[in-house]
Amino acid sequence: MTVGVLALQGDFREHISLLTSMGVATLEVRTAEDLKLADALVIPGGESTTIGKLADRYGLIGPIRERCQQGMPTLGTCAGMIFLAESTVSGHQPQLGVLNAVVERNAFGRQVDSFEADLTVIGLAEPMRAVFIRAPWMEKIGSDVEILATVVDLKGCEHPVLVRQGRILASSFHPELTGDTRLHQMLVESIDAS
């Protein structure tokens, strides 16, 4: 079993370290050939426009989309979540469109550009410490998307920040930065189940 980590831009090394600490074999994915060797895929945080443009240039958008549609377990964090989604609230950028969601980029605004919070996550016994860095939230989601955690913004509105649609998991935050392996564990378990 090998977990591919999209290694075009962003904090892919942190995901690889975390997976390695769990004893999981990893592979840096930069081409469609690499992707064929992966049983699951992590799409890291970073800059979603850059990840999208590079994925387009390297001919990866079609192949990743196809694998996701075939049920490949996939975890997208922050920019990775944006790349998985259908569209963004404003502007156009290359996206996979496999997650039935409209995403607001940099949604938490300037005062709280980066912050940490303890999230209650459906299915996890203990709260999860979550690091948000210029993070997106989900503005709209489809009925097939399950909300696993939310955050309340400064105006008191609740927004999904961790969701699951089939075997796709997407988080606004960075589980790879806290050493908490539970989301990566969920990803690995869905390989076993596939």
Q: Between 109 and 123, whose beta carbon lies closer to ligand GLN?
A: 109
Whole-angstrom distance, CA of residue 91 vs CA of residue 80 = 17
Selecting among 14, 78, 104, 184, the annotated active-site residue is 78
* Site for ligand GLN, residues 79 to 98, rule: CB under 6 A: 79, 82
Number of residues that bind ligand GLN (CB under 6 A): 11
Chain Cα centroid distance, residue 52:
13
Whether 78 sits among the annotated catalytic residues: the reply is yes
Whole-angstrom distance, CA of residue 172 vs CA of residue 51 = 16
Whole-angstrom distance, CA of residue 150 vs CA of residue 38 = 30
Containing H/E element for 129?
strand 128-133
- Residue 145 is given by DSSP the state P
* Site for ligand GLN, residues 130 to 149, rule: CB under 6 A: 133-134
Q: Between 68 and 135, whose beta carbon lies closer to ligand GLN?
A: 135
| Per-residue x/- track, 27-46, ligand GLN (CB under 6 A) | ------------------xx
Give the catalytic positions in this structure. 78, 174, 176
